[in-house]
Chain A
Amino acid sequence: MSALVSLTPALAPAATSVGNPTLNIAIFLVFVVITLAIVIKVASGNKGAAEYYAGGRAFTGRQNGIAIAGDYLSAASFLGIAGAIALNGYDGFLYSIGFLVAWLVALLLVAELLRNVGKYTMADVLSFRLRQRPVRIAAAISTLAVSFFYLLAQMAGAGGLVALLLGIESAAGQRVVVAAVGIVMIFYVIYGGMKGTTWVQIIKAVLLIVGAGLMFVWVLAKFGLNLSTLIGAANETTASDLGKARDLTQPGLQYKNPIDFISLSMALVLGTAGLPHVLMRFYTVPTSREARRSVVWAIWLIGLFYLFTLVLGFGAAQMLGPSEIKNAPGAANSAAPLLAFELGGEIFLGIISGVAFATILAVVAGLTITASASLSHDVYNTIVKDGNATPEEEVKVARISALVLGAVAIVGGIFAMGQNIAFLVALAFAIAASANLPTILYSLFWKRFNTRGALWSIYGGLLSAITLIIFSPVVSGKAVDPVTGKSPSMLQGVDFHLFPLDNPGIISIPLGFILGYIGTVTSKEYNAAKYAEMEVRSLTGVGAEAATHH
Chain B
Amino acid sequence: MSNDAPASAAEDRYAEVQNSAEFEELRTKFRKFVFPMTIAFLAWYFLYVLLSVFAKDFMGTRVVGDITWGLILGLGQFVSTFAITMYYARWADREFDPRAEALAQKMGGHHR
A residues engaging B (CB < 8 A)? 90, 93-94, 97-98, 100-101, 103-105, 107-109, 112, 117-119, 124, 127-128, 132, 226-229, 231-232, 235, 247, 249-252, 255, 258, 261-262, 265, 269, 289, 292-293, 295-296, 299-300, 303, 306-307, 387, 445, 528-529, 531-533, 535-537, 539-546
Contact = CB atoms under 8 A, between A and B. Distances in A.
Contact of A90 (B71, B86, B108): B71
Given A231-B67, A265-B49, A536-B23, 13 more contacts: A104-B85, A108-B38, A117-B2, A250-B56, A251-B52, A289-B97, A296-B85, A303-B82, A532-B17, A533-B6, A533-B10, A536-B107, A543-B111
B18 A261 contact: no
Given A104-B41, A292-B92, A303-B82, A532 B70 contact: no
Contacts of A529: 11, 14-15
26 contacts: A90-B74, A94-B52, A100-B81, A104-B84, A105-B38, A117-B2, A119-B1, A124-B3, A228-B67, A231-B65, A249-B60, A249-B67, A249-B71, A251-B53, A252-B53, A255-B53, A261-B53, A269-B45, A296-B85, A296-B86, A303-B78, A303-B81, A536-B14, A536-B18, A542-B110, A543-B110
A101 to B, nearest CB: 5
Interface in B25-79: 26-27, 30-31, 34, 37-38, 41-42, 45-46, 48-50, 52-54, 56, 59-60, 62, 64-68, 70-71, 74-75, 77-78
A540 B100 contact: yes
B47 to A, nearest CB: 11
Contacts of B1: 119, 387
Nearest to A132: B3
B27 to A, nearest CB: 6
B18 A104 contact: no
Nearest to A314: B66
A97 B92 contact: no
B94 interface: no
Contacts of B54: 258
Contacts of A255: 53
Interface size class of B (residues with CB under 8 A): 35 or more
Max chain B C-beta neighbours (<10 A), residue from A229, A252, A303, A536: A536
A523 B54 CA distance: 41
Contacts of A261: 49, 52-53
B81 A387 contact: no
A300 B26 CA distance: 28
Contacts of A306: 78
Interface of B: 1-3, 6, 10-11, 14-15, 17-18, 23, 26-27, 30-31, 34, 37-38, 41-42, 45-46, 48-50, 52-54, 56, 59-60, 62, 64-68, 70-71, 74-75, 77-78, 81-82, 84-86, 88-89, 92-93, 97, 100-101, 103-104, 107-112
B27 A262 contact: no
A164 B29 CA distance: 54
A251 B60 contact: yes
B2 A119 contact: yes
A540 B18 CA distance: 11
A300 B82 contact: yes
Nearest to B33: A108
Given A108-B88, A262-B50, A101 B81 contact: yes
Contacts of B112: 543, 546
Given A101-B77, A227-B67, A539-B100, A251 B56 contact: yes
Nearest to B96: A539
B45 A542 contact: no
Max chain A C-beta neighbours (<10 A), residue from B3, B48, B75: B3
Contact of B68 (A132, A249, A300): A249
Contacts of B89: 292-293, 296
Max chain B C-beta neighbours (<10 A), residue from A104, A247, A300: A104
Contacts of A98: 45
Contacts of A112: 92
Contacts of A541: 100-101, 104, 110
Contacts of B27: 535, 539
Contacts of A262: 49-50, 53
Top 8 closest pairs, chain A to chain B, by CB: A228-B65, A258-B53, A231-B66, A532-B18, A532-B14, A532-B15, A265-B49, A533-B14
Nearest to A299: B85
B104 A108 contact: no
A535 B16 CA distance: 12
A295 B92 CA distance: 13
Contacts of B3: 124, 127-128, 132, 387
Contacts of B101: 540-541
A94 B34 contact: no
B110 A544 contact: yes
Nearest to A293: B89
B45 to A, nearest CB: 5
Contacts of B46: 265
Contact of B64 (A127, A228, A546): A228
Contacts of A127: 3
A94 B86 CA distance: 23
B18 A252 contact: no
B107 A100 contact: no
Given A128-B2, A232-B66, A247-B60, A528 B15 contact: yes
Contacts of B2: 117-119, 124, 128, 545
Contacts of B17: 532, 536, 540
A466 B100 CA distance: 41
Contacts of A100: 77-78, 81
A499 to B, nearest CB: 19
B66 A249 contact: yes
B110 A546 contact: yes
